[in-house]
Amino acid sequence: MRPQARKMNPDYKKIAAFVTASLDREYLQDATGLHIRTDAEAFQALKTCYHSEYWCTAHQARNYQRTFADWLQGVPSALSIPFYNHDILTHAVEWNSLPEDATEAEEGKILEGYWIFMAMQYGKAARKHGIELFTPTKGPTKCQE
């Protein structure tokens, strides 16, 4: 019989706080020319950076959350996100997404879903501030024909 996976209750408030704090406001301000005073402005600048660096790929794929996850894997300068397996697993324990005595299988599951999970968390945090990361900006883009 297969062992039953342990049910964890992630602390989404901690994760949301991490996501917001991870935004490099100075970089975002320099990269976009936007004056950033609020979290909403920081998330708008993040969207602007994502669109300028990766929008054609996202537009062609039509799966904006997946391509945002791919963009995160490239470790963009616009934010600071754990990318080493050890750091990812340490954060997962801190966020109550993984038990401290996790099995290799449990760790593997966290690592496998990490980037799409984080893309979803960035999307949720931005939405909380009225910004839709995964929707097109108004007006034509270079990659639209």
Which tokens belong to 100?
């401290």
At 136 the pLDDT is 67
Cβ distance 54 to 91 under 8 Å? no
At 119 the pLDDT is 96
At 4 the pLDDT is 54
Domain limits, the chain: 12-128
Rounded-to-integer distance, Cα 46 and Cα 31, Å: 10
Matching residue, tokens 């639209």: 144
The pLDDT profile of the chain, 145 residues, written as one tens digit per residue, is 445 556 778 899 999 999 999 999 999 999 999 899 999 999 999 998 888 887 776 666 667 888 899 999 998 999 999 999 999 999 999 999 999 999 999 999 999 999 999 999 999 999 999 999 887 665 444 444 3
pLDDT tens-digit map of 53-84? 877 766 666 678 888 999 999 989 999 999 99
Cβ distance 23 to 42 under 8 Å? yes
At 115 the pLDDT is 97
At 1 the pLDDT is 43
Cβ distance 77 to 24 under 8 Å? yes
At 67 the pLDDT is 86
